[in-house]
Chain A
């Protein structure tokens, strides 16, 4: 991928939270990219000043990995995702150049106010089996190992980590604006792991062998040895804090509902089914909406996390997508999660797509192309790594490499991946990015899933049936 001859330099720029401060910084140092803003629909950007410099907009989680594997020479991304990578692969090819001195909040280890954990020494001394939920599984594991926690389990989640304690996790490792902000969520900050600031990072080999000086010079006025983040004062864990939220009461049946763009249609569906909820409308979003059924506990989490959370018994029922259920079952074939019925909304197609330039129209032609070793190994970007893995194995594509992504896999083609396996609604986005669909793996819509053990449980059976009947009524 790398081209040393003409000094072509590739820069990875962050999506999301860091877009506007990064765009202002780039403008300030005269390294602006046209179209780098919140509203952009593009992924590929060209530098107005340096013809040999190009940039791509990626998810922050992907940037540290993409720079480390050498697809990009330079990148800008948050220190949390950099450390999440470095703590696992310290000898990797990722080099931190400097903090760029903007960013907000910190990564904290938190416990629930009601969980009875007040400090770290209780964790290392205790003989309990602690459940730690986090979007940062590597940081969470390093924390637990360094603290010498005797027994712990890490549950990686796609998001909404704050919703899990105390019922579904003992600890969470998550981002928070400040200790005080975390306390308002009914959580106790136990330890601040690191402040979140944007960093300029580089690929080690690029830095060692390629002339990046023109670009690095633009940053020179912004480079500092130490991040100038104000160290917020650690919060004292006082008694009054512990009482900020009423103690949680165990419910007989627990239901998980999706956040994100699945929320609106789900909310609509529940209304149709006659299930009145407070805190699950477009105006008011709570992680814990309440229903008029006093035995029903509800939490709002990411649909991606639901099959696993139903499997491990944290929830009895959940509304998620068939795609995420299948992704889970391909990984854990004996998992006790079962689809009850499809709900008929949120329908997408899971497709395999390649660049329009690639001379193939179906998977059989692609197989021959890979066999002819023109595209070997075939690099496949996907949010659904288990689905993609099975699809490629079933179709005897060999050799291939999977690139896990966190959505927007189309940004990876054609430079950083040869094929994507992702969901589409209309296929318009793919066309915009000059991609073509070569196979439809399956259609997926929202569905109700359940834990098989709960369905069989003497205590839960009756209420589970009552609730599923109610929801089934919403189908008409």
Chain B
């Protein structure tokens, strides 16, 4: 658990503001889902992996005698898919975005158990164009945040699942292998004995080579003409996305093994890396809405991870707060304090942020300081902190005039 201090919140809001602006510019609409969701939303195959489920905060619901359990939202995408299935399933197309916190238990108590995500989801639409849209949207947000040296890695869940099928494992072994891969243990795949040497050659090639353009995938397609239909159609899908990305000048690396934790993904998946850390990821999850008892609608999306991005955000010289003008009383008599409040209110009404000071300390981070002395004929002293000049002011109107003229 962590506190966000004013400096941290400035970074947080900057990320959120840029993300919101970009999403709105692309036609996405903001949604918010509840912090508490039912556990069963996350237990079915194709939602969260068992190892992720072992880290959810779950507890009995208020009417816990019925045995119903709720969780602190452990993932951003699944609740939004549920929101779509529950409320928007009549819409053929929905572009939604959210800024949310997610919760995951970890045994040591040292890591952060609450993390923030900025995510966008695309429901409906034909294949591969939405995939490219969400990648480009994510990239635009990252670019506008000013983070440099960001790598984009692509993989494809359909390719991995097709490879697994080729191994012809028993259902139990296949489930075990899937879990291992989801946890990032790709070596398990190379160790699996296959009766078909062609499959072993394919696995070795895919795990060993890293592609940098769609040409790589064309080469794979040409080298393995005997691959299964499932494999070929997933490959074709990935070729469509990468070809478009090539044409739009978006660079990436294809690395089948670099992506894990993709249980709900069915098609392309991707992640963004900067300074060795994952700062975002996403993919296509066509089965998730049907699993939530919704219609059979394709969907894809991404999330950016706010916590690592905050550390990478270029540090700007942030102004101390928004208060441009400090209003202080010479003495703390009720009359002077009252005048201070009136002056500050008039300034704010005229559009100038004004902060009150009752401590008498010297402050220099302001554009103007208004000292209220209460003594006629000029009850105010106005200090221009930049020009370092002081002048008396007889009335509120005079203060406003000087301040407005800058």
Contact A124 B63 (CB under 8 A): no
- State in angstroms the CA–CA spacing of A335 and B108 once bound together: 36
Given contacts A142-B54, A146-B50, contact A151 B67 (CB under 8 A): no
**Is the CB of B64 closer than 8 A to any CB of chain A?**
yes
Does A311 count as interface, using CB distance less than 8 angstroms? yes
A334 x B62 contact (CB < 8 A): yes
Bound together, the chains give a CA A312 to CA B68 distance in angstroms of 11
Q: Which chain A residues lie closer than 8 Å to B53 at the CB level?
A: 145
CA of A131 to CA of B62, assembled, Å: 18
**Bound: A92/B108 CA distance, A:** 9
Contact B54 A145 (CB under 8 A): yes
- Bound together, the chains give a CA A334 to CA B64 distance in angstroms of 10
B45 adjacent to chain A (CB < 8 Å): yes
Select one of B45, B50, B65, B171 contacting A332, CB under 8 A. Answer: B65
Are the CB atoms of A148 and B66 closer together than 8 Å? no
* B69 beta carbon closer than 8 Å to chain A: yes
Docked pose: A144 CA to B69 CA in angstroms: 14
Q: Interface code B68-107, partner A: CB below 8 Å = 1, 0 otherwise?
A: 1100000000000000000000000000000000000001
List of B residues within 8 angstroms of A151 by Cβ: 40, 43-44
The one of A153, A335, A337 in contact with B69, judged by C-beta atoms closer than 8 angstroms, is A153
Are the C-beta atoms of A312 and B65 separated by less than 8 Å? yes
Query: Does any Cβ of B come within 8 Å of A406's Cβ?
Result: no
Which residues on the A side are within 8 Å of B64 (C-beta)? 331-332
The answer for the CA separation of A331 and B59 in the assembled complex, in Å, is: 13
Could you tell me which residues of chain A, from 118 to 177, have a CB within 8 Å of some CB in chain B? Answer: 121, 124, 129, 131, 142, 144-146, 148-155
Task: Report yes or no: B107 in contact with A91, Cβ–Cβ below 8 A.
Answer: yes
B107→A89 contact, CB < 8 A: yes
What CA separation (Å) do A336 and B65 show in the bound complex? 9
Contact of A145 among B43, B67, B108 (CB under 8 A): B43
- Cross-interface CB contact of B66 among A92, A121, A144, A312, cutoff 8 Å: A312
Q: Which of A92, A142, A148 has the most CB of B within 10 A?
A: A148
Residue on A with the closest CB to B106?
A91
B265 to chain A, nearest CB (A): 16
A153-B54 contact given A91-B107, A124-B45, CB 8 Å threshold:
no
Q: Which of A89, A153, A308 has most chain B Cβ within 10 Å?
A: A153
Report how far A335 CA is from B64 CA in the complex, Å: 9
Q: How far is the CA of A334 from the CA of B53 in the complex (A)?
A: 29
Q: How far is the CB of A178 from chain B (nearest CB, A)?
A: 24
Taking CB atoms, residues of chain B closer than 8 Å to A149 are 43
Cα of A91 to Cα of B107 in the assembled complex, Å: 6
Specify the chain B residue showing the minimal Cβ separation from A88: B54
Q: Contact at B66–A145, with CB atoms within 8 Å?
A: no
Contacts of A144 in B (CB 8 A): 43
Provide the residues of chain B in CB contact with A311, threshold 8 Å: 65-66
With both chains docked as a complex, state the minimum distance between the C-beta of A326 and any C-beta of chain B, in angstroms. Answer: 15
Given the complex, which residues of B lie within 8 Å of A335, measured CB to CB? 63, 65
Question: Out of A89, A155, A334, which one reaches B63, CB within 8 Å?
Answer: A334
Q: A90 interface residue, CB < 8 Å from B?
A: yes
The listed residue with most A CB atoms (<10 A of its CB), out of B43, B64, B67, is: B67
Residue of B nearest to A142 (CB): B54
- Asked if residues B50 and A148 are in contact (CB atoms below 8 Å), the reply is yes
- In contact, A153 and B67 (Cβ under 8 angstroms): yes
Looking at the complex, which one of A91, A148, A155 makes contact with B108 (CB distance below 8 Å)? A91
* Residue numbers in B under 8 Å from A92 (CB-CB): 107
Out of B45, B63, B65, name the residue touching A148 (CB < 8 Å): B45
User: Which residues of chain B are near A91, meaning CB under 8 Å?
Assistant: 107-108
Q: How far is the CA of A273 from the CA of B325 in the complex (A)?
A: 85
- Residues of chain A within 8 A (CB-CB) of B67 are 131, 153-155, 312
B62 adjacent to A148 (CB under 8 Å): no
Q: Which residues of A sit under 8 angstroms from B62, Cβ to Cβ?
A: 332, 334
Contact bitstring B34-66, A, C-beta under 8 A = 1, else 0: 000000100111000010011000000011111
Mark out the residues of chain A between 50 and 109 whose CB falls within 8 Å of any chain B CB in the assembled complex: 89-92
Contact call A150/B43, Cβ cutoff below 8 A: yes
Once the chains bind, are B66 and A153 in contact (CB under 8 Å)?
A: yes
Which of chain B's residues have a CB closer than 8 A to the CB of A308? Answer: 65
Q: Closest B-chain residue to A310, C-beta based?
A: B65
Say whether, besides A153-B66, A155-B67, A311-B65, A148 and B54 are in contact (CB < 8 Å). Answer: no
| CB within 8 Å of A: which B129-162 residues | none
**Could you say which of B50, B62, B66 has the most chain A C-beta atoms within 10 Å of its C-beta?**
B66
Residues of B within 8 A of A154 (CB): 67, 69
Chain B residue with the shortest CB-CB distance to A154? B67
By the criterion CB–CB under 8 Å, are B107 and A90 in contact? yes
| Most chain B beta-carbon contacts within 10 A, residue among A151, A328, A335 | A151
Assembled-state Cα–Cα distance A49/B63 (Å) = 54
> Which chain A residues numbered 295 to 345 have a C-beta less than 8 Å away from chain B?
308, 311-312, 328, 331-332, 334-337
| Cβ distance A363 to chain B, nearest Cβ, rounded Å | 29
- Taking CB atoms and an 8 Å cut-off, the chain A residues in 162-220 that contact chain B are none
Q: B residues within 8 A CB of A155?
A: 67
Least CB distance, B313 to chain A, in whole angstroms: 32
Q: Closest chain A residue to B68 by CB distance? A: A153
Query: Can you name the residue of chain A whose Cβ is closest to the Cβ of B109?
Result: A91
B45 to chain A: which residues have CB within 8 Å?
124, 148, 150
Chain A residues with CB below 8 A from B171, complex form: 121
Could you tell me the distance between the alpha carbons of A332 and B171 in the complex, rounded to whole angstroms? 42
> Which of chain B's residues have a CB closer than 8 A to the CB of A152?
40, 43
Query: Which of chain A's residues have a CB closer than 8 A to the CB of B50?
Result: 145-146, 148
Residue of A nearest to B107 (CB): A91
Please indicate the chain A residues that have their CB under 8 angstroms from the CB of B107 in the complex. Answer: 89-92
Give min CB distance, B104 to chain A, whole Å: 14
A334 to B171, CA, bound (A): 45
Bound-state CA distance A6–B65 (Å) is 49
Shortest CB distance B75–A (Å): 15
- Chain A contacts of B43 at CB under 8 A? 144-145, 148-152
Q: Closest Cβ of chain B: how far from A248's Cβ, in Å?
A: 21
- Chain A residues within 8 Å of B65, by CB: 308, 311-312, 328, 332, 335-337
Do the beta carbons of A150 and B44 come within 8 Å of each other? yes
How far in angstroms is the closest Cβ of chain A from B289? 15
Closest chain-A Cβ to B56's Cβ sits at a distance in Å of 10
Q: Could you tell me the distance between the alpha carbons of A142 and B54 in the complex, rounded to whole angstroms?
A: 8
20 A-B interface contacts by CB (under 8 A): A90-B54, A90-B107, A91-B107, A145-B50, A145-B53, A146-B50, A148-B44, A148-B175, A150-B40, A150-B44, A153-B66, A153-B69, A154-B69, A155-B67, A312-B67, A332-B62, A332-B65, A334-B63, A336-B65, A337-B65
**A-side interface residues toward B, CB under 8 Å?**
89-92, 121, 124, 129, 131, 142, 144-146, 148-155, 308, 311-312, 328, 331-332, 334-337
